[in-house]
A and B are shown apart, each in its own frame.
Chain A
Amino acid sequence: MTDRKIYLDNAATTIPRESVIKTVSDAMRESYNPSALYLDALKISNKISAAREVVKSALGARDGELIFTSGGTESNNMALTCSRMKKGSRVIIGEGEHDSVFKTASVLRDVEVVFAPIKPDGGVDEEKFKALLCDNVSFVSIMHVSNETGAVNDIEKLAKLTKRASKNAIFHSDGVQAFLKEDVDLAKLGVDLYSVSAHKVHGPKGIGALYIKRGTPIRPLLTGGGQEKGLRSGTESYPLIAGFCEAVKSFDPTEREQVANFKAEFLEKLLESVDGVRVISPIGGVSNILTLAFEGVRGEVLLHSLEDYGILVGTGSACASHHESRFKRLFALEDGYVDGVIRMSFSIDNDMSEIDYIVSAISACVNKLRLDKRK
């Protein structure tokens, strides 16, 4: 055991920035209900509006609404269950979507839900997607970046194809892993709905947003006091909104390159010193996610072994770590690799100087586990 902690599970959640913690904490002292009529409340309401503009601008959301929600799961649930879908129409869901989309799709009634296959790198297979399109499609949900592999889908292209086949179809994209990791310009992407979450970008947990393009037929998931223009009732959490805004404001675009460099160097050194590794993440994937499969090792056992070195990694969606992942099958791995998947996801908190330590720890653990297994 060691006191050292190297956190490599940033796709599950990130560590909030100090400035975010301070902002949330300070904002908790401004506790008036933003809907109240007195001036002090109006001031908070104005700050929420300003925060909304900050997030919208980071998304390139020039046209439409951005409503604050409790996070990615709520945004995805609202997109799927509250959008208008004609009876008997077709709904296309990516096979690799996060459970908050994938499982929610299974409760949809009176529509035909079909799944768009993914390639072994986790990205949607565009040709197969195209084949599912027809003029009866009313709704599509394809994630921008795969949380499992970091594969980036060409949302602009998929949205265009969708609209061409069925001009009234609503196109939703789960952008939770893409926000601030990829260039997101919603106006250009051409999506109708887009989900984001604060805690994946060093913001607080419990806050996210759903972008709704002007004119998109969607009703609220939560009704009540009529906040967020009636689209999301419930007293706004000003502290979390302020924290979200601070996380977005303090993001520095050069961070992306820093993380990308870390990942590249780490991968190079890892492949030099450990054999029997398959890289599942695609080359053009998002800069912070690296999903690997190790031969002859169980992912969760490797995960626990690395804990002893103070290194924390994931085995896939942390929210789903208690059941057999459907991705094992989708990655099309050879037999010896199927159980050996781990997901490492980096952030600006990781320092280049840690790479050698991480690589040698993985090498030691993998070698030991393989040796133990041998007769």
Chain B
Amino acid sequence: MEKVIIIRYGEIFLKGKNRSYFESLLISNIKSALDDLLGGNYSFSRSQGRYAVSNFELKREDEVIATLRKVFGIHSVSSAFMVRTDFENDFENIRSALKVLAVKAEEDNLKKDARFRVTVKRADKRIPMPSYEIAAKLAGVILDNTSFKVDLTDFDFDFEVDIRENGVSYVYLGSFLGVGGLPVGCSSKGLLLLSGGIDSPVAAYMMAKRGMKLFAVHFASPPYTSERAKQKVIELRDILSPYTTKMRLFVVPFTEIQLEIHKHCPEEFMITIMRRFMMRIASRLAEKFDLKAIITGESLGQVASQTVESMTSTESCAKFPVFRPLIAFDKDETMDVAKRIGTYEKSIEPFEDCCTVFLPKNPVIHPRLEKVVELEKELDIDSLVERAIGGIEEY
């Protein structure tokens, strides 16, 4: 009786002829997540729209499940016993597995007189019994070993038995939902502006959910921002990795640009012009790595730089579509996701990011594009961008 983790995929199921492409991406993401966790000490197999992970250290089962639940494209996972179907011996092995599961369930269950059913799926048509008859036959072992009662419609436990064509059966109780979505990598590649705040990590999560492979760029302004602020961004990237797969992170030295804007442009336009530089630099990076979109954590109206006019001003410097997955999110909603995916606690650590340097008292809320372009004429844009790009470090 071997312990395996069964993986079911979600939306890919709907795909037609190119399903195998999505599947191969999903499998490769699953394997790379498990490699990181178990260092190759496991087996992976696939059959009929399901995958199974086996041969891992049993005490790490919870970690395996938790890891898989963060891989986009997975609908759900179950911890199952894999046994030989052994139809000739009256399903002897399946019965033993059911007994173990049922006794454990009764131990863990606080409710008296719990109700259960057994659901059988019979892919192996060599067995000359319909599923419901097999189910009825198997239920006996649970009735004999627990105080549970049968109830096919209103039940607390559904013991599932998957009889496969190859003489093997999976026996399990319940499943854990995964994060859904599409496998990372199937929806092209994009560049995330990662600040260290609450929003941008959530934006990364949202885009990865739809299958986008992400790179990240962070703007640092030493000595106005500290090494710890940069460290925080690296840690955020690492927290996101199980979802996004590991993002390459580029840190751009941004101090000179900020000082130049501060010196030559009106204070209230500081943020607008600064963000336009971010878009220019991001576009250059995107070109270099063949990325197809820029992603930000902006949400409409959240701050002065996130009005329609501000976004219009900044976007005009971008050479790629700018995706803003949080555009219609309330802060609460973003925070909820951040808490769920584990970035919140890190994001609220109070280290200054580059946006807080020379923060104007009254930033312009509805900047006119022509006006901004006019103001920027005071700056040597190309060489500022060039020097910033020359100083990029990858983490």
Contacts and interface: CB of A to CB of B under 8 A. Distances in A.
B262 interface: yes
Nearest to A300: B226
A322 interface: yes
A308 interface: yes
Contact of B262 (A300, A305, A372): A372
A372 B223 contact: no
B222 A304 contact: yes
Contacts of A161: none
Interface string B328-351: 000000000000000000000111
A304 B352 CA distance: 13
Interface residues of B, number: 13
B263 interface: yes
B223 A375 contact: no
A323 interface: yes
A5 to B, nearest CB: 15
A164 to B, nearest CB: 44
Contact of A372 (B226, B259, B351): B259
Contacts of B259: 372
A340 to B, nearest CB: 14
Contact of B350 (A303, A307, A323): A323
B263 A305 contact: no
Q: Which of A302, A304, A307, A373 has the most CB of B within 10 A?
A: A304
A305 B223 contact: yes
A302 B358 CA distance: 15
A308 B350 CA distance: 23
A322 B263 contact: no
Interface string B351-381: 1100000100000000000000000000000
A323 B350 CA distance: 7
A307 B262 contact: no
Interface in B283-311: none
Interface in B192-246: 222-224, 226-227
Contacts of B352: 300
B349 A304 contact: no
Contacts of A323: 350
Interface residues of A, number: 15
B223 A322 contact: no
A303 B350 CA distance: 17
A323 B223 CA distance: 18
Nearest to A302: B223
Contacts of A277: none
B4 to A, nearest CB: 46
B226 A375 contact: no
Nearest to A375: B263
A370 B223 CA distance: 13
Nearest to B264: A375
Nearest to B256: A372
Greatest chain B CB density within 10 A among A300, A307, A372, A375 is at A372
18 contacts: A300-B226, A301-B223, A301-B224, A303-B223, A304-B222, A304-B223, A304-B224, A304-B226, A304-B227, A307-B223, A322-B351, A372-B259, A372-B263, A373-B262, A373-B358, A374-B263, A375-B262, A375-B263
Interface of A: 298, 300-305, 307-308, 322-323, 372-375
Given A308-B223, A375-B263, 15 more contacts: A300-B226, A300-B352, A302-B223, A304-B222, A304-B223, A304-B224, A304-B226, A304-B227, A305-B223, A322-B349, A322-B351, A373-B262, A373-B358, A374-B263, A375-B262
